[in-house]
Amino acid sequence: MEAINLTNNLKQSHSEPAAPGPAAPAAPLWDMLRAGSGEAFEQIFRHYYPSLLNYGLRFNKDNEEVKDCIQILFMNIWERKSFLGNSDSIRNYLLASLRRLILKRAKSNPMTVALEDDDSLFHVELSVEMKMIRDQTLKENVIFLQNAIQNLPARQKEALYLRFYNDQSFGEIALIMNISTRAVYKLIYKALDALNEELAPQGRDVPFVLSVYMTLLGAGSVVGEGVEVIKEFM
């Protein structure tokens, strides 16, 4: 019996937002994992953990619950490794799988308010990250943007997040959110139109402030003490 300990080297500083870096080589790593490579399993976990945590916390503010979901996801992947299909994008597969798992657990939790649809929980508000902004004008612009974003439907928030924070294509967002590409276009453009309508008359540069906002979202999702996944190997 052998165990993988995925505990160390998961810390992100406030000066380095937890935005996903260059995608890890999908096909080789995924194929190695499917063949039973513990090293590939660990490498995938370490590479994608920060972006998974950040995305998961958009649905559930309970840090430990999101971490539990990530562990469950990877445990299921290891247990089903020989049955996994090909994947052109490990990140898309993991984000979509984590999304389904978090929403499924939320719906089965009696303490959770009944969800009308899959996008009821998504949130993107900032808190202490505001302290990182030294320029008062920029801070005011970010606050105005955040207030405008909070008025958007949750599914529009999620589409914006995936597009501008995770840098996903429209097709990738469609796969993750389980909707059509056309629906993704509508969500994003309706959201941008709403933000422009709210902020542009005040002379606020929406694209620039939105980029700052998404950077701050990454800075706010700090991987602190790390997480541990234990799996048995045959």
| Cα–Cα distance for residue pair 40/29, rounded to 1 Å | 6
The fold for domain 129-220 equals Arc Repressor Mutant, subunit A (1.10.10)
Residue 173, both tokens: 């967002």
Residue 33 and residue 207 in contact, taking contact as beta carbons nearer than 8 Å: no
Residue 199, both tokens: 């902020």
Of the chain, the end-to-end C-alpha distance in Å amounts to 7
Domain ranges of the chain: 129-220
pLDDT in tens, 64-88: 999 999 999 999 999 988 888 777 7
Q: What is the pTM of this model?
A: 0.73
Least Cα distance to 207 among 173, 164, 162 occurs for 164
pLDDT in tens, 80-130: 888 887 777 889 999 999 999 998 888 776 555 444 444 456 777 665 455
